[in-house]
Amino acid sequence: MLYFNFHLTLLDLQENDVQFMSKPGRMHEGLQVYSFGAVSVVIDNAKQSILAQTGDGWKSVHLGQILEMHRSRGGSRWK
């Protein structure tokens, strides 16, 4: 079970039609990669941080930024 202590929650993202799914076999720095809509992320509960994959690599983000990234990509991998 994932634990979040952020302003937005997974429920908020799901209400905005953002699907949260694991990407089997995909790992980054020993952490499972997940799909938040069009955005690949890893969640580090120990550090209470989220990293999102961008065109420039993995960047620390918050859930609001993930939602913005998802919307700006419009379903494409990079935008």
Q: Is the pLDDT of residue 20 over 90?
A: no
Pairing of strands 49-54, 39-44: antiparallel
Q: What is the pLDDT of residue 79?
A: 37
Domain ranges of the chain: 10-73
Choose between 41 and 18: higher pLDDT: 41
pLDDT band at 40 (very low <50, low <70, confident <90, very high): very high
pLDDT band at 68 (very low <50, low <70, confident <90, very high): confident
Is 51 within 8 Å of 58 (Cβ atoms)? yes
